[in-house]
Structure 1
Amino acid sequence: MAMRTVLPQNVALRRSVRDFAGVLQQALCAHQADDLETAERLYREVLDLRAAQPDALHYLGVLCHQQGRSDEGVELIRTALKITPRHPDAHNNLGNIHKECGRPAEAEACYRHALACAPDHHNAQGNLAVVLEVQERLDEAFEAYGALLAQAPDDARGHYLMGLFLRNHAQSMEHLEQSAECFRRAFAVDPRSLRALEALGVTLYALKRHDEARQVYRDWLAREPDNPVPRHMLAACGGAEAPSRADDAYVRELFDGFADSFDEQLLKNLDYRAPQVLAAALGEVLRPADGTLDVLDAGCGTGLCAPLVRAHARNLVGVDLSGGMVEKARLRGGYDDLEVAELTSYLQAHPDAYDLVLSADTLVYFGRLEDVLAAAHAALRPDGWLGFTLEAMEGGTADLEITPSGRYRHARRYVEDVLASRGFRDVRIQGDTLRREAGHAVAGWVVLAQRPSDALAS
């Protein structure tokens, strides 16, 4: 039972009549500064001073969601809305919780409530478009994005989201041209929107306007010579020598900046299914789920694999290079431990630790696979399984190639050779579609391999 400090009677009386507004302002400042512990304490102090104060309930609900207590957050915001039912921000934030918890229909209802209260609520309008797209109601989503741009023509996020929509669902080169213009507009409105600049470069390359794509990254690199993202993307477009693997700084910068919208964007690639196809393949070789395995989600991202393998795990660990992604995985829940670390080094530091290592769409940022697969072999126990996905390179004689997306494709023969040379047996590779991008299917490999028992290995 939580202990509560007992104040002297005269102090308690003064506090009981103290204006709660100052404490609420302190709580909001702490919340904005990401000092969640202090913010929660102050929100609860407000509620002690003024029971059922709706702003404190609302923002405490947001905070609870940020700390992984989403059900508690939902109830707090619902209580606030019983007191102030026409509060558009509260409806919008309740929708955000539902959206981030994978409940798009509930999120849609909340966003529509927000817009009924405030028709010009730009965030709610954009969020409504997103969840309509997630539900594959594409005509409605397109209209919702259009409404957002009509309401807020200088909203960089709106132009960026429309650009992604057009690129993700492109049925013609004209759609890609329109997408590129949206990304240009987003960057013109907000020069800090570097994700729009990156998206512009990728889209120009998809349009076969290679020189323009490379110039986007050269201009960006000239402005920010120490930024690893344009450096890597310039190489991906053939404007510089391709690295043997993506630099750690590039991966960290890319995914830290992408963390808040990562799940949203993956869901909007409506056929994104790498975690599902990998889990299904593993289900064919693992014993029935009995909660006895030590499992590592290698490159866990926001934790999309956790619910798919949780039933197999006695202990489920997630590791990722991006601290922003790990925080999102912590919010999603399902892990016993989460760590921020470079994958190969982490594997090397945990020999014979796991019965299963899985990695969905992480090794696509590794060009050469020799070191990471050797580390994975060492981290597995005898008879343990490794499962991962890669983008497929068909034809040709090369082992791998970097693509304009900044990811790598690998040849099947190369993957088989590396796994065999690192001591794996029972290698199984099947082709599948892992996602769609710019309106086209991205072909991939779903790879399983087993570390043999010591007796068999010898």
Structure 2
Amino acid sequence: MKTGSDRSTMTVGEEFAIAMKAWEAGDRAEARRLGRRLATRHPEFGGAHYLLGLIAQQQGQIAKAVEHLMRAVAADPRQPVPRLALGRALEAQGNLDAAGLHYRAVLDAIPTHAEAHARLGEILGRSGQRDEAIDHCRRAVAANPRHAEALCCLGSLLHEAGQSDEAAVFLERALELRPSWATALYNYGLVLIARDRLSAALTILTGAAELRPNHAATAAALAGALRRLNRLDEARSEAERATQLAAQDSAGWLELGLIRVAQNSHDGAAAAFERVVSIEPKSVQAHWCLAESRRALGQIDRAAIHYDICLRLDPADRVGAALGLAQVGAAAPPERAPDAYVRQLFDDYASHFESALVDGLGYCGPEQVGEILSRVLERREGLEILDAGCGTGLAAPVLRPLAARLDGLDISSGMVDRARRRGLYDSLEVGELIAGLSARQARYDVVAAADVLVYFGALGPLLAAAAQALKPGGVFACTLERCDDQDYRLGAGNRYAHSAGYVEAQAKACGFAVVLFEPAVSRREAGLDVPGWVAALRLTA
């Protein structure tokens, strides 16, 4: 190596190599001195500005870093390394669009560049362009299966998209590479909560909190896990800590409100949700939570205001605000629960549906459907059967012995994914029930619908669609909840109950003969039996 006495004879590349070695050795002052010397003597050399840009960014001088790195890129636009560094500096400056352009330029030259895909995926995710972000993260992982940042980002994005099982796989791989990475632990904790693995989530989030004790979002997530485990006092302490760490972060206030609801402190819950609304005025969930708390407090007019805001913000109505307006008397009950509401309800419910319904509520609808079919079917094997609103497939063990072919249909992709794991269906499809039935002309001997009609008030359209799907003489078997004072009524739990006379009249109008119609109890709520019906309707020839 040449000494200081003969540096005048060095090439630019040799001087740059010495400067970079000083930088890599942690001697920032010497690296800066050499970089400035290079930039002065060789202003056209991009490497000097690249090094000075890195030094400026490390010092927090982001505008200066961007200036130097732009000059480095201008000196040789084909070089990916300065472009990547410029992209990162622009990200730090908050200029995500410009950063993305530089990452895309790298990918134009090198389509399999893992780091460029990973960075682009990250900023697209932060910009709300989730599908494209997921695609770039997948490409980053395909190019480099050990790219920890891409694995973590992909897991987080898949969780946001409701694909928590797949998200867990990528986050576990990220943590294998970096076991004490607080960000990955936090994201993995959220995934475990979504998968109803609450004890594991608590362990993971506790570890994340130890690594980042002042991270408000981790404290809020920890509060959520504790709330779901019914450790409400501990949960409240963590949620309060989250609000103290970041008073303008809505996650802590939202969790505090949910905990106060669980503790029957609706005044306190409403106050917390008011804070969330003030921080995120366009949050549908915040307005819905506030509406529910106002309703619990008997503040009907104030509840209606926030239900109405939910509908304006989300006309598809994933939270069921139209049902809420009906509950407070501000609107007539809709003829059926909104599709988006039912889909979201069961997507969210999928991971713990069976434990909550069967163990918690004593649900036995599938067994009741099986029992009535055993009483009304003329043959009990070789049948074409549709499990309409199949959910996680609870009815499949009852229906499979009767079926030559068993199909399942449900509006929730999360539920269908769970049903598929049973391996008992010949086909499964995600779709809205009436449209799905109408598309299956005269295909089935039996259509079974356990705990499905509770999401329909007016039954005519559903029964007409079922009649189209059945062969002549086919049977529609279902469970319902019971009311006696009107055709149908929307109950406090946003489930519809029906009268016997109404069901029989609608069945007759759609070409069915009532073969069996009996009182039954298929579930319990708050420790009390929920009155219901079981019915078998036969399509007349």
> Structures share a fold, TM > 0.5?
yes
Q: Distance in 2 between matches of 1:209 and 1:30?
A: 41
Q: Partner letter of residue 144 of structure 2?
A: V
Contact 2:189–2:205 at 8 Å: present in 1 too?
A: yes
Secondary structure of the 1:306 match is coil
Residue among 129, 140, 160 paired with 2:223: 129
Residue among 479, 487, 491 paired with 1:399: 487
Shift of 1:34: 0.8
Contact 2:254–2:276 at 8 Å: present in 1 too?
A: yes
Matches within 5 A, 1:73-152: 74-152=168-246
Shift of 1:307: 5.3
Question: Does structure 1 residue 337 correspond to structure 2 residue 431?
Answer: no
Which position in structure 1 is the counterpart of 2:277? Answer: 187
Q: Partner letter of residue 427 of structure 1?
A: F
Which position in structure 2 is the counterpart of 1:282? Answer: 369
Secondary structure of the 2:213 match is coil
Q: Distance in 1 between matches of 2:204 and 2:155?
A: 15
Q: Distance in 1 between matches of 2:179 and 2:144?
A: 20
Shift of 1:193: 1.6
Q: Distance in 2 between matches of 1:67 and 1:202?
A: 26
Relative contact order, higher structure (CA 8 A, sep 6+) = 1
Contact 2:489–2:498 at 8 Å: present in 1 too?
A: yes
Q: Partner letter of residue 44 of structure 1?
A: A
Q: Distance in 1 between matches of 2:266 and 2:119?
A: 46
RMSD in angstroms over aligned alpha carbons?
Answer: 4.4
Q: Distance in 2 between matches of 1:96 and 1:269?
A: 20
Q: Distance in 2 between matches of 1:337 and 1:205?
A: 39
Secondary structure of the 2:364 match is helix
Contact 1:359–1:389 at 8 Å: present in 2 too?
A: no
Which position in structure 2 is the counterpart of 1:53? Answer: 147
Residue among 404, 408, 424 paired with 1:317: 408
Residue among 301, 325, 330 paired with 1:239: 330
Question: Does structure 1 residue 375 correspond to structure 2 residue 462?
Answer: no
Q: Distance in 2 between matches of 1:296 and 1:451?
A: 15
Q: Deviations over 1:9-36 (max 9, x none)?
A: xxxxx979x9742232234456653134
Shift of 1:187: 1.5
Secondary structure of the 1:89 match is helix
CA distance change for structure 1 residues 268 and 213 in 2, over 3 Å: closer, same or farther?
Answer: farther
Which position in structure 1 is the counterpart of 2:142? Answer: 44
Which position in structure 2 is the counterpart of 1:364? Answer: 454
Which position in structure 2 is the counterpart of 1:11? Answer: none
Q: Deviations over 1:132-176 (max 9, x none)?
A: 333344444444434433434333333333333433553xxxx23
CA distance change for structure 1 residues 151 and 64 in 2, over 3 Å: closer, same or farther?
Answer: closer
Residue among 282, 295, 311 paired with 2:386: 295
Shift of 1:419: 4.7
Matches within 5 A, 1:194-273: 194-217=284-307, 233-240=324-331, 242-243=332-333, 245-246=335-336, 251-254=338-341, 261-262=348-349
Which position in structure 2 is the counterpart of 1:3? Answer: none
Q: Distance in 2 between matches of 1:256 and 1:86?
A: 36
Contact 1:115–1:124 at 8 Å: present in 2 too?
A: yes
More displaced stretch, 65-74 vs 403-412: 65-74
Contact 1:400–1:409 at 8 Å: present in 2 too?
A: yes
Q: Distance in 2 between matches of 1:185 and 1:20?
A: 41
Q: Partner letter of residue 45 of structure 1?
A: A
Q: Deviations over 1:22-71 (max 9, x none)?
A: 23223445665313445423321133xxxx23223334555777899877
Contact 1:355–1:380 at 8 Å: present in 2 too?
A: yes
Question: Does structure 1 residue 410 correspond to structure 2 residue 507?
Answer: no
CA distance change for structure 1 residues 231 and 428 in 2, over 3 Å: closer, same or farther?
Answer: closer
Q: Partner letter of residue 277 of structure 1?
A: C
Q: Distance in 2 between matches of 1:312 and 1:65?
A: 33
TM-score, normalised by the number of residues in structure 1:
0.71
CA distance change for structure 1 residues 379 and 46 in 2, over 3 Å: closer, same or farther?
Answer: same
Q: Distance in 1 between matches of 2:255 and 2:444?
A: 40
Question: Does structure 1 residue 448 correspond to structure 2 residue 534?
Answer: yes
Shift of 1:398: 1.9
CA distance change for structure 1 residues 149 and 79 in 2, over 3 Å: closer, same or farther?
Answer: same
CA distance change for structure 1 residues 33 and 61 in 2, over 3 Å: closer, same or farther?
Answer: closer
Which position in structure 1 is the counterpart of 2:8? Answer: none
CA distance change for structure 1 residues 227 and 63 in 2, over 3 Å: closer, same or farther?
Answer: closer
Contact 1:237–1:404 at 8 Å: present in 2 too?
A: no
CA distance change for structure 1 residues 401 and 94 in 2, over 3 Å: closer, same or farther?
Answer: same
Question: Does structure 1 residue 166 correspond to structure 2 residue 260?
Answer: yes
Q: Which runs of 5+ in 1 are unaligned?
A: 1-13
Which position in structure 1 is the counterpart of 2:477? Answer: 386
Q: Distance in 2 between matches of 1:33 and 1:93?
A: 16
CA distance change for structure 1 residues 184 and 429 in 2, over 3 Å: closer, same or farther?
Answer: farther
Which position in structure 2 is the counterpart of 1:26? Answer: 120
CA distance change for structure 1 residues 37 and 297 in 2, over 3 Å: closer, same or farther?
Answer: farther
Q: Identity, % of aligned pairs?
A: 23
Q: Distance in 2 between matches of 1:371 and 1:280?
A: 26
Q: Distance in 1 between matches of 2:274 and 2:227?
A: 22
Q: Distance in 2 between matches of 1:68 and 1:227?
A: 18
CA distance change for structure 1 residues 432 and 450 in 2, over 3 Å: closer, same or farther?
Answer: closer
Which position in structure 2 is the counterpart of 1:348? Answer: 438
Q: Distance in 1 between matches of 2:388 and 2:361?
A: 13
Contact 1:205–1:404 at 8 Å: present in 2 too?
A: no
CA distance change for structure 1 residues 182 and 375 in 2, over 3 Å: closer, same or farther?
Answer: same
Shift of 1:191: 0.7
The structure richer in helix per residue is 2
Shift of 1:90: 1.4
Which position in structure 1 is the counterpart of 2:393? Answer: 306
Rg larger in structure: 2
Q: Deviations over 1:243-284 (max 9, x none)?
A: 55047xxx1454567677555897998999679432343354
CA distance change for structure 1 residues 253 and 311 in 2, over 3 Å: closer, same or farther?
Answer: closer
Q: Partner letter of residue 318 of structure 1?
A: L
TM-score, normalised by the number of residues in structure 2:
0.61
